[in-house]
């Protein structure tokens, strides 16, 4: 599994439509689902929760939960649906998540997490990985992080994705937790030195190629979050600069390739806005970007969007200030 660059699991962002869209831009970045709760998989509509388009692969399923039994069952179900990796969320800091005992609050219970991971690995042949933070609340010393990773490593886990901020449980909103706690990249670098045989992936506040390259010199991979969602064509730059792949589509090509998928999904009952909302940032930084966002917002990102307008979207790109310069590589 190539984890040199991946796109983080993000609630309300990395659904199957977003992943299909991103895969049109990047052939090599590993994609992650939104977090799916183990109990929801156990009791809910598994197809609705887990089905995805094979063209999204490679794609990892992120699970949330703290029941060894339910997580093990969900891991096996994820394997049966065709995912390439199972990831356990140990980093989400929201109050709702903490109330239900999953996410970053589990850093307080490393032995429970170890039990969960052991059961998960026993239930699937897929690689099981974790995503966590460097600490929580007032617990932010490196020694505690080192001990936490050591306990999880003892279960056989090989890949650790580390968001280089601590989680402020119940004190900050999820948005504040993405910005206010300071980044401590040195903690992640030190983990790689202390665990040289393990795969250490760094995450948090990474927004440019100039930031990615030095991180890759000190860790095994970089996970991109909000930058991949708000400026998705950033992944094309990553394809060229990191994966050395010059065969990347233009922005215009991406939309042309997305249209058949949109039409197929509309036939299945998917609403137009559920797909097109993910494309708002495609032309970020290009001539006509503001027109593109305005046109989508007014015509395709509303609940009752006129599906016929999808047939005219390329004309809008070509003739309404979203000119041919938009279609060129960044």
CATH of domain 251-327: 1.20.120.1460
Helix axes 16-25, 234-241, angle to 10 degrees: 50
Confidence of residue 156 (pLDDT cuts 50, 70, 90): very high
Pair 26, 58: CB distance under 8 Å: no
CA distance 309 to 311: 5
According to the model, what pLDDT value does residue 321 have?
Answer: 55
Distance CA 106, CA 97 (A): 10
Residue 129, helix vs strand vs coil? strand
Mean pLDDT, range 161-180, rounded to an integer: 81
- What is the pLDDT confidence band of residue 319, given thresholds at 50, 70 and 90? low
C-alpha distances in Å from residue 187, one per residue of 79, 200, 288: 32, 11, 41
3-state secondary structure of 204: coil
What is the reported pLDDT for 325?
41
Q: What is the pLDDT of residues 297-306, one digit of tens each?
A: 988 888 777 7
pLDDT of residue 101: 85
Report whether pLDDT(172) > 50: yes
277/296 Cα distance (integer angstroms): 8
Per 3-state DSSP, the chain is made up of helix, strand and coil in percentages (nearest 5) of 50, 15, 35
- How far apart CA 233 and CA 180 sit, in angstroms, is 27
C-alpha–C-alpha distance, residues 245 and 32, integer Å: 21
The model's confidence at residue 245, banded by pLDDT at 50, 70 and 90, is: very high
Mean pLDDT of the chain: 92
**Cβ proximity of 53 and 257 under 8 Å:** no
Specify the CATH number of the domain 5-232: 3.20.20.70
295: left (phi over 0), alpha (psi -120 to 50) or beta: alpha
Indicate which residues carry an active-site annotation. 92
What integer pLDDT is reported at residue 322 of this predicted model? Answer: 62
Rg of the Cα atoms in the chain: 20
- Residue-wise pLDDT for 105-115, tens only, equals 999 999 999 99
Residues 198-211 have pLDDT tens digits of 999 999 999 999 99
Q: What is the mean predicted confidence (pLDDT) over 71-87?
A: 98
Residue ranges of domains in the chain: 5-232, 251-327
Residue 59 CA to residue 32 CA, distance in Å, equals 6
């Amino acid at each position: 599994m190539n984890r040199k660059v991946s796109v983080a699991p993000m609630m309300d962002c990395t659904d199957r439509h977003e992943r299909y869209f991103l895969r049109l831009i990047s052939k090599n970045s590993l994609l992650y689902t939104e977090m799916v709760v183990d109990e929801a998989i156990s009791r809910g509509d598994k197809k609705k929760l887990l089905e995805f388009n094979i063209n999204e692969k490679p794609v990892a399923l992120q699970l949330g939960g703290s029941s060894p039994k339910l997580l093990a069952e969900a891991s096996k179900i994820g394997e049966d649906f065709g995912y390439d990796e199972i990831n356990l969320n140990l980093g989400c800091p929201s109050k709702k998540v903490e109330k239900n005992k999953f996410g970053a609050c589990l850093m307080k219970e490393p032995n429970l997490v170890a039990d969960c991971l052991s059961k998960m690995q026993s239930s699937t042949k897929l690689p099981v990985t974790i995503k966590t933070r460097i600490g929580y609340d007032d617990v932010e010393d490196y020694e505690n992080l080192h001990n936490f990773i050591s306990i999880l490593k003892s279960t056989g886990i090989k890949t650790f994705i580390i968001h280089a901020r601590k989680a402020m449980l119940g004190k900050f909103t999820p948005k504040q937790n993405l910005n206010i706690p300071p980044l401590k990249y040195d903690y992640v670098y030190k983990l790689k030195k202390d665990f040289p045989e393990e795969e250490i992936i760094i995450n948090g506040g990474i927004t440019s190629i100039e930031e990615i390259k030095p991180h890759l010199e000190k860790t095994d991979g970089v996970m991109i979050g909000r930058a991949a969602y708000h400026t998705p064509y950033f992944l094309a730059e990553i394809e060229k600069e990191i994966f050395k792949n010059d065969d990347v589509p233009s922005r215009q090509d991406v939309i042309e390739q997305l249209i058949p998928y949109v039409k197929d999904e509309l036939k299945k009952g998917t609403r137009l806005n559920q797909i097109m909302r993910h494309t708002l940032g495609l032309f970020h930084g290009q001539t006509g970007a503001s027109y593109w966002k305005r046109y989508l917002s007014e015509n395709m990102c509303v609940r009752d969007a006129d599906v016929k307008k999808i047939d005219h979207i390329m004309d809008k790109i070509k003739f309404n200030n979203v000119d041919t310069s938009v279609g060129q590589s960044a």
